[in-house]
Amino acid sequence: MTIAQINTDRLLSFISQMAKIGATKNGGSNRQALTNEDRIGRDLFLDWCYAIGGVSRLDSIGNLFVRFEGKDPKKLPILMGSHLDTQPSGGKFDGVYGVLAALEVMSTLNDQDKMLYHPVEIVVWCNEEGSRFIPAMAGSGVFTGNLKQSDIYSAIDEEGISYFDALTATKQMGSHPCQAFPFSASLELHIEQGPILEAEQKSIGIVTGVQGMKWHQITLSGETTHAGPTPMSMRKDPIQAFITLLPKMYEKVSEYGDLARITIGKLTTIPSSTNTVPEHVIFSLDLRHPIQKTLEVMTEEVLNLCEEIPAMFSSEIELLWESPAREFDPRCIDVVRTAASDLNLSAMPIVSGAGHDSVYLSSIGPAGMIFVPCKDGISHNEKEHVEPEHLTSGANVLLHSLILLAEEKGE
């Protein structure tokens, strides 16, 4: 029996053409959520979908759905997709690959005049990256009821533009309310964004779940003064508190083993001047662990370290965002494993270290993910690269996972 295969050349063409929109000088992409480039990318995607019979709709948060009917319209739809928005200096594959591979899967089925029993909907979730509007995964968060639409509407970017204004300016405000509807299953194909699959020489990651994440902003306060006249011993320099606190935080997280993560991604001084001792040091704290209870305890212990700074300083802690650890649906995991095996592809189970829309989807229905390796584990970077053979393998696993789910007769 011939096993169906996606069209690699067409998939690579989809990715190449999308990458031209918002292309950066070093070979990456800049299509931040609800920008003109984001809208142009969505329009191109829709042109390709319409050519194979897709019917689109937008919801009130900017999520884009494209439906392909099945043999039995009473069956619940199967969702596939990811996101098309990028980081300011992002790569060509993060999120984009999952959307365009889903398009290639439906194009392959169209080539074969094959209609599945279940309807299929390709989803482009809005503002997944969170690089322009915080929080990340806004579209899927509102869809699943984990975030409030009113809160997202009022989010402001660095130029003072609100999510709501950007949504209307780019004509991505849909007439359908953003609310969950029943679905049979959801599949998201994504690059790993880490080095594990490449190191293990595996083509496919069978994603069993996603790490829990907590984002905090911490402000350490002292006293501002002139850099020249004030002796070191008489300063209340919050940088001193910061450099004392930082190694303690890293040491505490290391106690929780290799599954634990800590990242300080943003650091600001106020006032920010070369010859002035700052009054405030503000930094971000990103903590992650795949076991939610462990994440909670680890976070509490790390934040308690802020109380140990010298009495001359004060600290303020603000929770910016959190996403709980999730385990994916056993049936979705099993079809991915079966598809990889049927295609004779090397595969391994893996826990996602990054957040994805499937985290929220898994809170209301069966969800699963497929990973492919990326070179050196690099992502959120213009150097992001995935070998064509891995792009093909992932799309083929998505195709056969979809067929396994959509041909089930019991629902």
Give tens-digit pLDDT for 99-155. Answer: 999 999 999 999 999 999 999 999 999 999 999 999 999 999 999 999 999 999 999
Residues 253 and 332 occupy one common structural domain: no
Q: Which of 276, 302, 322 is the last residue of a domain?
A: 322
Which pLDDT belongs to residue 323? 83
Residues 347 and 372 occupy one common structural domain: yes
For residue 351, being part of any structural domain is answered with yes
As to burial, measured by CB atoms within 10 angstroms (0-12 exposed, 13-18 middle, 19+ buried), residue 272 is exposed
Residues 162 and 16 occupy one common structural domain: yes
Single out the residue of 92, 137, 40, 127 nearest to residue 380, CA to CA.
92
Residues 166 and 295 occupy one common structural domain: no
Which pLDDT belongs to residue 273? 96
For residue 382, being part of any structural domain is answered with yes
Number of domains in the chain: 2
CATH for 341: 3.40.630.10
For residue 1, being part of any structural domain is answered with no
For residue 263, being part of any structural domain is answered with yes
Residues 296 and 362 occupy one common structural domain: no
For residue 411, being part of any structural domain is answered with no
Which pLDDT belongs to residue 410? 46
Residues 30 and 168 occupy one common structural domain: yes
For residue 57, being part of any structural domain is answered with yes
Residues 123 and 254 occupy one common structural domain: no
Residues 49 and 188 occupy one common structural domain: yes
Q: Which residues of the chain are modeled with pLDDT < 50?
A: 1, 410-411
Q: Which of 322, 344, 364 is the last residue of a domain?
A: 322
Angle, in degrees to the nearest 10, between helices 292-304 and 238-254: 150
Residues 63 and 158 occupy one common structural domain: yes
Give residue 340's domain range.
8-211+325-406
Residues 162 and 136 occupy one common structural domain: yes
Which pLDDT belongs to residue 411? 44
Q: Which of 307, 322, 337 is the last residue of a domain?
A: 322
Residues 157 and 233 occupy one common structural domain: no
For residue 2, being part of any structural domain is answered with no
CATH for 233: 3.30.70.360
For residue 154, being part of any structural domain is answered with yes
Residues 312 and 398 occupy one common structural domain: no
